[in-house]
Amino acid sequence: MRLSQYFLPTLRQEPAEAEVVSHKLMLRAGMIRKLASGIYTYLPFGLRALRKVERIVREEMNRIGAQEVLLPLVQPAELWQETERWEKYGKELLRFKDRKEHDFCLGPTHEEVITDLVRKEVRSYRDLPLILYQIATKFRDEIRPRFGIMRAREFIMKDAYSFDADEKGLNRTYERVYEAYNRIFSRCGLRFRAVLADTGAIGGNESHEFMVLAETGEDTLAICEACGYAANVELAEVKTAYRYEEEPERPLEKVSTPAVRTVEEVAEFLGVSPARLVKTLLYVADGEVVAVLIRGDYELNEVKLKNLLGVDSLEMADAETVERVSGAPVGFAGPVGLKVRRLLADFSVRGLKNFVTGANEADAHYVNVNYGRDFPEPEFYDLREVVEGDPCPRCGRPLTLTRGIEVGHIFKLGTKYSAAMRATFLDREGKERPFVMGCYGIGVGRTVAAAIEQNHDQNGIIFPEEIAPFKAIVLTLGPESQLMETSENIYRRLSAEGVDTLWDDRDERPGVKFKDADLIGIPYQVIVGKKFLETGKVELKERATGQREELAPEEVVSRMRDQK
């Protein structure tokens, strides 16, 4: 491709709208442009990177015997009603009516559609296992899209679905996909880690997320260096053994705490450590208010709470509900005299004596509170978020926390969808059974963004070779015909050898060409300039290391061909 004719609008200045590096660089390198919040256009250069990732995904999915399909983006409500997700999926599901007033939605995921297809077409255990996948546009009406293509509303995803005759089969299939994912992300040049994960809105039994390690990641991972345990903090178990000193229960006392609400404020006001405080969190779970107690220096893990309660919706109580239940404005709720049906507490509260809570009264807290005496003993569970240094649930050594970008997620679904949708086959004995399913996603666009997040410097992107839009760029540093001819010759021969090559034949000064080449991150730069006029040598510069080598033009061609 000749750069003079290529649609590559690079930006010298940083776009004001971008926050994270990958977003800034994708805009500056002319890969993407925003159309609306969370909705992006891929320009030719960005699309090339996307296609490279797609190619790797296809190769590795095909390798494990998966077959590609293309499912509709627009889906009828009826299917979603069968699995009750029409009600349960929430506002992320973008719904609308067609001209005949029939309900439809834009597919955020495709379990219903694929299960419908397979129940209609597959009858026998002999056709199993079956793995189908697609690479397609998805739409999720995210609360807050951000970071460019990293968390967009419309995005490209590879989703695969497996159908097995039994659990054992599913386990084998899951394992195969797991290995395929390892190969995919390795080939994309990413530093990543598979971690245990929550199943969220998709549902199912077991799940792993593939996390690209990056500070800007939206997820936090708990990792044990000692035994290799790795989990999303959303479900990382807390096995801390709390030891509290024996102390006599002191008399309950109400203290005035005017306008003092937060844990930090209360602790400072009363001159005690936050670990002496017990927060009372009020939640509305499927319409019913529950209260959760947790030590002041810890944070509640909503995913754990939601899974424990087994509810579909879980939200913090709004100010009105808090007032109604506790009789006090937000900030002063406490367990003493609280009118809720269920009172839960994190293990960190068990054994704690003489602690501080809100008094269910404006501007007041209780001190020397003790459960069993001042209020009924709550149900104790593991409900808090792990913190750095908590013991590994497997081996007990301290955990470390790190950030990650979720680029892949695999689930063992079991029969959740097949049972709900009566998708069955006949087994060897002629008995009707529901398919045992798995589902497996990869954020394709997000993988590109994550690769950039992990591979860049001050000058721009440094594409890993396998996903680079082009492998080489020829820079012609001057208008002399000898330079142009040599450049064109190299460009043609590289292209003929199947090396994706861009030729910067623009009438621009050298500085501009160097800056653009570094910005767009093509792995190899072939520099044809003054040096060639003097010595007959061109330079081969590696973008990642900055290493330069002087070579004759034909040597460049053979070098690039050999390491293809």
Partner RNA sequence: CGGGGCGUAGCGCAGCCUGGCAGCGCACCUGCCUUGGGAGCAGGGGGUCGGCGGUUCAAAUCCGCCCGCCCCGACCA
DSSP result, 193-218: EEEE---TTT--SEEEEEEEE-TT-S
Residues in binding contact with RNA, number by CB under 7 A: 68
DSSP element (H, E) containing 553: helix 553-562
Among positions 107, 296, 378, 441, the unique one binding RNA when judged by CB under 7 A:
296
Q: To the nearest whole angstrom, how small is the minimum distance from the Cβ of residue 132 to RNA?
A: 33
In this structure, are residues 525 and 472 in contact, taking their beta carbons and an 8 Å threshold?
yes
Among positions 2, 4, 5, 14, the unique one binding RNA when judged by CB under 7 A:
14
Burial level of 122, CB count in 10 A (0-12/13-18/19+)? Answer: middle
Give residues 214-253 in contact with RNA (rule: CB under 7 A).
none
Is 258 one of the binding residues for RNA (CB under 7 A)?
no
Is 310 one of the binding residues for RNA (CB under 7 A)?
no
Structure tokens at 420: 């709900």
Q: How far apart are CA 235 and CA 361, in angstroms?
A: 34
Q: To the nearest whole angstrom, how small is the minimum distance from the Cβ of residue 16 to RNA?
A: 3
Phi, psi of 508 (to 5 degrees): -130, 160
Pattern 92-131, RNA, x by CB under 7 A: ----------------------------------------
Among positions 51, 239, 342, 515, the unique one binding RNA when judged by CB under 7 A:
515
Instruction: Between 169 and 529, name the residue whose CB sits nearer to RNA.
Output: 529
Among positions 95, 261, 433, 561, the unique one binding RNA when judged by CB under 7 A:
261
Is 30 one of the binding residues for RNA (CB under 7 A)?
no
Instruction: Between 33 and 239, name the residue whose CB sits nearer to RNA.
Output: 33
In this structure, are residues 22 and 148 in contact, taking their beta carbons and an 8 Å threshold?
yes
In this structure, are residues 540 and 549 in contact, taking their beta carbons and an 8 Å threshold?
yes
Instruction: Between 15 and 189, name the residue whose CB sits nearer to RNA.
Output: 15
Among positions 516, 521, 524, 560, the unique one binding RNA when judged by CB under 7 A:
516
Is 163 one of the binding residues for RNA (CB under 7 A)?
no
Structure tokens at 46: 């960005």
Instruction: Between 162 and 357, name the residue whose CB sits nearer to RNA.
Output: 357
Q: How far apart are CA 474 and CA 503, in angstroms?
A: 5
Instruction: Between 115 and 486, name the residue whose CB sits nearer to RNA.
Output: 486
Strands (E), 14-125: 32-36, 39-42, 67-68, 74-76, 95-97, 103-106
What is the separation of C-alpha 515 from the centre of its chain, rounded to a whole number of angstroms? 32
Is 284 one of the binding residues for RNA (CB under 7 A)?
no
Give residues 401-460 in contact with RNA (rule: CB under 7 A).
459
Structure tokens at 44: 């030719």
The one segment of 73-81, 417-425, 446-454, 472-480 that binds RNA by CB under 7 A:
472-480
Is 479 one of the binding residues for RNA (CB under 7 A)?
yes
The one segment of 33-41, 169-177, 192-200, 390-398 that binds RNA by CB under 7 A:
33-41
Give residues 320-359 in contact with RNA (rule: CB under 7 A).
322, 330-334, 357-358
The one segment of 117-125, 399-407, 429-437, 522-530 that binds RNA by CB under 7 A:
522-530
Instruction: Between 117 and 263, name the residue whose CB sits nearer to RNA.
Output: 263
The one segment of 47-55, 414-422, 494-502, 515-523 that binds RNA by CB under 7 A:
515-523
Is 17 one of the binding residues for RNA (CB under 7 A)?
yes
Q: To which residue do tokens 């609360």 refer?
A: 143
Burial level of 94, CB count in 10 A (0-12/13-18/19+)? Answer: middle
Please, what is the end-to-end C-alpha distance for the chain in angstroms?
18
Q: How far apart are CA 305 and CA 301, in angstroms?
A: 7
Among positions 131, 519, 526, 560, the unique one binding RNA when judged by CB under 7 A:
519
Instruction: Between 366 and 411, name the residue whose CB sits nearer to RNA.
Output: 366
Strands (E), 165-259: 192-196, 206-213, 219-223, 230-232, 253-256
Among positions 164, 541, 553, 560, the unique one binding RNA when judged by CB under 7 A:
541
Phi, psi of 25 (to 5 degrees): -70, -35
Is 385 one of the binding residues for RNA (CB under 7 A)?
yes
Is 301 one of the binding residues for RNA (CB under 7 A)?
yes
Instruction: Between 25 and 437, name the residue whose CB sits nearer to RNA.
Output: 25
Q: Count of residues for the chain?
A: 564
- Residue 95: how many other CB atoms lie within 10 Å: 14
Task: Report the candidate in 291, 294, 304 with the shortest Cα–Cα distance to residue 237.
Answer: 304
Site for RNA, rule CB under 7 A: 10-17, 19, 28, 34, 36-38, 143-147, 261-263, 279-283, 296, 299-302, 315-317, 322, 330-334, 357-358, 385, 459, 477-479, 507-512, 514-519, 527, 529-532, 539, 541, 548
